[in-house]
């Protein structure tokens, strides 16, 4: 089983790249995020690899970091999400937003991925909401979170959901609204009202 490949980037295509490792060219499927950060032909490149074996093929899926690989494995644990659908989701919703999308129930964002319809998007959000709380949600550094996923999974209250709903009604995407409310909570005090939280969240969205 191949777990990692290191070599020189040979070429990049729409959904894959070729990595030259000691004169052998490995075809590796990857997300748009990984492909856009792979570098130029001839540059050194190391990728974490998931190997998928079937009777008629062996496919390699590559990731620049462990966070994206972890999310790929979590996504493909959902029935109906194959490896290529997992990469499509990671291309449409990169790891720094995916945790918030699932935690906030933003199935609409997942539907932007090729091959992901409403039913599958809802299934992903439903099945992964609890599992996502057990891994790092890649919360942006601006939140200054110490508990990672625990902040998302445990510290969301009724007033938070009301604030998210208010921002969505103002036209913001649910994932962005959810992230902004979490950031606003770091600056709010215990006596903050719903209006205070919305005001702080709007500042986060405009910054």
Q: Is the pTM of this model over 0.75?
A: no
Average pLDDT over residues 42-62: 94
Segment 176-199 shows an average pLDDT of 79
- Which residue's structure tokens are 């994206």? 68
57-103 residue pLDDT tens: 899 999 999 999 999 999 999 999 999 999 999 999 888 778 878 87
The residue with greater pLDDT, 26 or 190, is: 26
SS3 152: helix
User: How far, in Å, CA of 91 to CA of 35, rounded?
Assistant: 10
CA 153 to chain centre: 16
CATH architecture of residue range(s) 66-138: Orthogonal Bundle (1.10)
Q: What is the pLDDT of residues 196-205, one digit of tens each?
A: 778 888 888 8
**Contact of 46 with 5, CB cutoff 8 Å:** yes
- Spans of all domains in the chain: 4-64, 66-138, 156-207
Higher pLDDT, 130 or 139: 130
Asked if 89 and 58 touch (Cβ cutoff 8 Å), the reply is no
Q: Of the spans 53-67, 131-145, 165-179, which averages the highest pLDDT?
A: 53-67
Nearest to 105 by CA among 30, 160, 32: 160
pLDDT number for residue 37? 94
The backbone region for 39, taken as left when phi is positive above 0, alpha when psi lies in -120 to 50, beta otherwise, is left
pLDDT for position 26: 97
User: In this structure, are residues 56 and 19 in contact, taking their beta carbons and an 8 Å threshold?
Assistant: no
- In this predicted structure, the answer to whether residue 161 has a pLDDT above a threshold of 80 is no
Output the average pLDDT for the chain: 83
Q: Check: CB of residue 95 under 8 Å from CB of residue 75.
A: no
66-138 matches 4-64 in CATH topology? no
Query: What's the CATH superfamily of 4-64?
Result: Nucleic acid-binding proteins (2.40.50.140)
Q: Given CATH 1.10.8.10, say whether it is the number of domain 156-207.
A: yes
Please give the pLDDT value at position 133: 57
């Amino acid at each position: 089983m191949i777990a990692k490949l290191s070599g020189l980037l040979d070429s990049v295509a729409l959904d894959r790249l070729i990595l030259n490792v000691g004169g052998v060219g490995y075809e590796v499927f990857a997300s748009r995020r990984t492909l856009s950060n792979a570098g130029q032909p001839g540059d050194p490149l190391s990728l974490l690899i998931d190997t998928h074996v079937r009777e008629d093929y062996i496919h390699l899926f590559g990731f620049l970091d462990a966070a994206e690989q972890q999310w790929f494995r979590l996504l493909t644990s959902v029935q109906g999400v194959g490896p290529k659908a997992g990469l499509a989701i990671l291309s449409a919703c990169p790891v720094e937003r995916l945790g918030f999308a699932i935690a906030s129930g933003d199935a609409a964002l997942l539907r932007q991925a090729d091959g992901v319809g409403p039913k599958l998007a809802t299934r992903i959000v439903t099945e992964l909401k609890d599992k996502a709380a057990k891994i790092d949600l890649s919360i942006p550094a601006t939140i200054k979170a110490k508990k990672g996923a625990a902040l998302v999974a445990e510290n969301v209250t009724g007033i938070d959901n009301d604030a998210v709903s208010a921002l969505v009604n103002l036209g913001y995407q649910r994932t962005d609204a959810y992230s902004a409310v979490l950031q606003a909570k770091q600056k709010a005090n215990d006596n903050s009202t719903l209006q205070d939280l919305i005001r702080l969240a709007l500042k986060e969205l405009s910054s």
